[in-house]
Amino acid sequence: MKFSYLYLPLLIIWAKPLHADIDINEIKDNMYYEIVNAKKKYQSIKNNFRSPYINNINNYSLYTNYLDSLRILAENLEINRQKLFISIRDIDLLDDDIYFINELNNSSILLFNIINGFGRIYHTYLIHMISSEYSLEQYSLDMENLLRLEKKYSLFK
User: Where do the domains of the chain lie?
Assistant: 23-152
- Pick the closest to residue 134 from 120, 145, 148, 117 (CA basis): 120
Confidence of residue 77 (pLDDT cuts 50, 70, 90): very high
Query: What angle is formed at CA 81 by the lines to CA 152 and CA 47, rounded to 5 degrees?
Result: 50
CA distances from 53 to 56, 90, 111 (A): 9, 53, 27
% of the chain exceeding 70 in pLDDT: 72
pTM of the model: 0.75
Question: pLDDT band for position 113 (50/70/90)?
Answer: very high
pLDDT of residue 67: 87
Residue among 49, 54, 35 nearest 119 (CA): 49
With a CB cutoff of 8 Å and minimum separation 6, the contacts of 32 are: 104
CA distance 83 to 61: 33
**Residue 80 CA to chain centroid, in angstroms?**
7
Q: At 128, is the pLDDT very low, low, confident or very high (cuts 50, 70, 90)?
A: confident
**Cα separation, 101 vs 86, whole angstroms:** 12
- Side-chain half-sphere CA neighbours of 138 within 13 A: 11
Residue 86 in this model has a pLDDT that exceeds 80: yes
**Does the structure show a pLDDT above 80 at 153?**
no
State the pLDDT at residue 47.
81
Confidence of residue 139 (pLDDT cuts 50, 70, 90): confident
Which 3 state secondary structure label does DSSP give 121? helix
Taking the C-alpha atoms of residue 107 and residue 103, their distance in angstroms, rounded to an integer, is: 6
Phi-psi region of 154 (alpha: psi -120 to 50; beta: other; left: phi over 0): left
